[in-house]
Amino acid sequence: MKKMMKTFLTIFSLILLSTAAHTTEPQQQFELGNNYYNQAIYDSALFHYHKILDTGLESDVLYYNMANAYFKLKEVPYSILYYEKALKINPTDEDIAHNLSIANAMIVDKIEVLPQLFFKVWWNTFYKLLPADTWAWISVLVFILTLLAIYLYLTSFNILVRKLAFFSGLVLIFSSLASFGLASQKYYYTQQTNEAIIFAPTITIKSSPVASSVDLFVLHEGTKVTLLDHTNGWQKIKIANGSIGWLPEDVLKGI
* Superfamily of segment(s) 19-104: Tetratricopeptide repeat domain (1.25.40.10)
Return all residues near 159 (Cβ < 8 A) that are at least 6 apart: none
Task: Give the pLDDT score at 13.
Answer: 45
| Helix, strand, or coil (residue 168) | helix
Question: 136-180, pLDDT tens digit by residue?
Answer: 888 889 999 999 999 988 898 888 988 898 999 899 988 888 888
DSSP label at residue 249:
G
Q: In this structure, are strands 234-238 and 244-248 parallel, antiparallel, or unpaired?
A: antiparallel
Task: Give the pLDDT score at 127.
Answer: 66
Asked if 197 and 253 count as a contact pair (C-beta separation under 8 A), the reply is: yes
HSE of 20 in the Cβ direction (CA atoms, 13 Å)? 6
Task: Give the pLDDT score at 22.
Answer: 53
CATH 1.10.150.120 fits 195-254, yes or no: no
Q: What are the residue ranges of helices labelled H in 40-158?
A: 42-54, 60-72, 76-89, 94-104, 118-127, 132-155
Question: 224-236, pLDDT tens digit by residue?
Answer: 999 999 999 999 9
Task: Give the pLDDT score at 20.
Answer: 47
Nearest of 88, 44, 107 to residue 192 by alpha carbon:
88
Nearest of 9, 13, 71, 12 to residue 46 by alpha carbon:
71
Which string of DSSP letters, residue by residue, matches 37-49?
Answer: HHTT-HHHHHHHH
Asked if 163 and 210 count as a contact pair (C-beta separation under 8 A), the reply is: no
Task: Give the pLDDT score at 23.
Answer: 54
Nearest of 223, 197, 242 to residue 107 by alpha carbon:
223
Q: Give the chain's length.
A: 255
Tens-binned pLDDT, residue by residue, of the chain (255 aa): 444 444 433 444 444 444 444 557 899 999 999 999 999 999 999 999 999 999 999 999 999 999 999 999 999 999 999 999 999 888 889 999 999 999 999 999 999 887 777 777 777 777 677 777 788 888 889 999 999 999 988 898 888 988 898 999 899 988 888 888 877 777 776 667 789 999 999 999 999 999 999 999 999 999 999 999 999 999 999 999 999 999 999 999 999
Return all residues near 240 (Cβ < 8 A) that are at least 6 apart: 111, 112, 113, 114, 224
Q: CA 167, 138, 188, 61: dihedral to nearest 10 degrees?
A: 140
| Distance separating alpha carbons of residues 230 and 204, to the nearest angstrom | 17
